[in-house]
């Protein structure tokens, strides 16, 4: 009942915000892209726009698996995302992405692989220039399907997929952001990740809180950073081999698009992968270079 009341309240607030939308001047470009580094941002694409994206995470920069033998990770690919996102309205995007899948447990057991990720994003409220709405609030949903071949002979493996549903994992976030000035934006994002099938002894559901910030240095250059803290006793204990995924990046805005170079200890790209499975430690040099190529088309 409480949930219904909450949803009704949310719908009412959204409707009120939408009805008065034409009279308001909104704050634009809280973030320049729809992803910060690992986390989603509150931004949406805009109606009839198609964003074709390729994201890449190289191998470890240093440490046991990096350094000169792998040209500081450039000769490895931890994870690769290829896909597209489309703006159904100015506030609603849907996307479909393929990722390799890169997460792993501390003992080396791999997470789900060969992933198809469906995303949906709804910007519920927009920060207004007059301060009547101080935040932009966006809901993001992600459903991940592993298309890996079923491992018939290994029941302890995640790839054993006892049922089709075991191929699935989900993530939902509510992103709340504010652009404090043209030079500074901040975002918080409570979220929940649920994996239908997990390694023995692991937990299916994980609450998390992400934080992201953008500092604009010049019209062209900006610095972005993000972190996602999983509220899981096991994942907050480095002794158990898990580490908090965080990243820092340099944004370069050219006339046509925003190019970003980043470093992160997350090996995976999608939330269902990097939130439960980040086991790489910045301190060990296990961080990697990443970049995204994004091209937006008006359709």
Partner 1 sequence: MQKGIFFLLIAVFSIALSWYEPPAALMQEELLVAEVLEQLGEAPLPHKPDTSLAGVSVAKGRDLVKRGSPGGPGGMVSPHFTCLACHNVERDEPTLSFDNPQERLEYVAEKDLPFLPGTALYGAVNRTRFYNGDYEKKYGDLVKNARHSLRESIQLCAIECSQGRPLDAVEMESVLAYLWTIGLKIDDLALDKTAQERIEAALAGQGDPEAAIRLIKSRYATAAPATFVEPPKDRKEGYPVAEADAANGRLIYENSCLHCHENKRYAFFRLDKSRFSHRQLKKHIPRYTRYSIYQVIRYGTSPVPGKRSYMPNYTMEKLTHQMVEDLRAYIELRAGGGTPGEKEKGI
Q: Does 147 bind partner 1 (CB under 8 A)?
A: no
Closest CA to 223 of 183, 194, 187: 183
Least distance between partner 1 and beta carbon 28 (Å): 4
Least distance between partner 1 and beta carbon 183 (Å): 7
**Torsion, CA 197, CA 201, CA 205, CA 210, rounded to 10:** -110
Q: Does 255 bind partner 1 (CB under 8 A)?
A: yes
Q: Does 256 bind partner 1 (CB under 8 A)?
A: yes
Query: Between residues 166 and 214, which has the closer beta carbon with respect to partner 1?
Result: 214
Chain center to CA of 225 = 12
Of 6, 8, 20, 48, the one binding partner 1 by CB under 8 A: 48
| Binding positions for partner 1, 122-141, rule CB under 8 A | none
Query: Between residues 74 and 220, which has the closer beta carbon with respect to partner 1?
Result: 220
Q: Does 29 bind partner 1 (CB under 8 A)?
A: yes
| Binding positions for partner 1, 280-299, rule CB under 8 A | 295-299
Query: Between residues 121 and 166, which has the closer beta carbon with respect to partner 1?
Result: 121
Least distance between partner 1 and beta carbon 72 (Å): 32
The site that binds partner 1 (CB under 8 A) totals a number of residues, namely 18
Query: Between residues 47 and 234, which has the closer beta carbon with respect to partner 1?
Result: 47
Of 134, 162, 182, 205, the one binding partner 1 by CB under 8 A: 182
Least distance between partner 1 and beta carbon 142 (Å): 26
Q: Does 253 bind partner 1 (CB under 8 A)?
A: yes
| Binding positions for partner 1, 189-248, rule CB under 8 A | 216, 218-220
Query: Between residues 87 and 101, which has the closer beta carbon with respect to partner 1?
Result: 87
Q: Does 94 bind partner 1 (CB under 8 A)?
A: no
- SS3 for the chain, per residue? CHHHHHHHHHHHHHHHHHHCHHHCCECCCCCCCCECCCCECCCCCCCCEEEEEEEEEECCCCCCCCCHHHCCCCCCEEEEEEEEEEECCCCEEEEEEEECCCCECCCCCECCCCEEEEEEEEEEECCECCCCCCCEEEEEEEEEEECCCCCCCCCCCHHHCCCHHHHEEEEEEEEEEEEEECCEEEEEEEEEEEECCCCCCCCCEEEEEEEEEEEECCCCEEEEEEEEEEECCCCCCHHHCCCCCEEEEEEEECCCCEEEEEEECCCCCCHHHHHHHCCCCHHHCCCEEEEEEEEEEEC
Catalog residues that contact partner 1 under the rule CB under 8 A.
28-29, 48, 182-183, 216, 218-220, 253, 255-257, 295-299
């Amino acid at each position: 009942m409480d949930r219904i009341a909450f949803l009704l309240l949310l719908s009412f607030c959204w409707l009120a915000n939408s009805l008065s939308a034409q009279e308001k001047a909104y704050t634009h470009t809280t973030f320049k892209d729809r992803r910060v580094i690992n986390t989603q941002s509150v931004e949406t694409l805009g109606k009839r726009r198609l964003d074709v994206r390729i994201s890449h995470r190289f191998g470890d920069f240093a440490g046991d698996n990096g350094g000169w033998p792998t040209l500081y990770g450039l000769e490895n690919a931890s994870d690769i995302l290829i896909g597209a996102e489309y703006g159904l309205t100015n506030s609603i995007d849907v996307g479909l992405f393929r990722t390799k899948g890169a997460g792993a447990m501390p003992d080396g057991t791999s997470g789900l692989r060969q992933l198809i990720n469906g995303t949906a994003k709804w910007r519920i409220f927009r920060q207004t220039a007059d301060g009547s709405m101080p935040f932009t609030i966006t809901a993001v949903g992600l459903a991940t399907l592993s298309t890996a071949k079923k491992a018939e002979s290994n029941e302890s493996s995640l790839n054993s997929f006892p049922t089709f549903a075991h191929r699935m994992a989900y993530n939902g976030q509510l992103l709340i952001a504010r652009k404090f000035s043209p030079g500074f934006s901040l975002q918080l994002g409570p979220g929940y990740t649920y994996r239908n099938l997990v390694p023995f002894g692991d937990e299916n559901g994980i609450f998390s809180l992400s934080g992201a910030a953008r500092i604009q240095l010049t019209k062209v250059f900006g610095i972005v950073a993000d972190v996602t803290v999983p509220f899981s006793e096991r994942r907050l204990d480095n002794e158990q081999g898990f580490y908090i995924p965080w990243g820092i990046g340099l944004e370069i805005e050219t006339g046509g698009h925003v190019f970003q170079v980043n470093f992160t200890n997350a090996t995976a790209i999608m939330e269902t992968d990097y939130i439960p499975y980040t086991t790489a430690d910045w301190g060990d040099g296990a961080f990697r270079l990443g970049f995204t190529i994004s091209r937006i088309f008006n359709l």
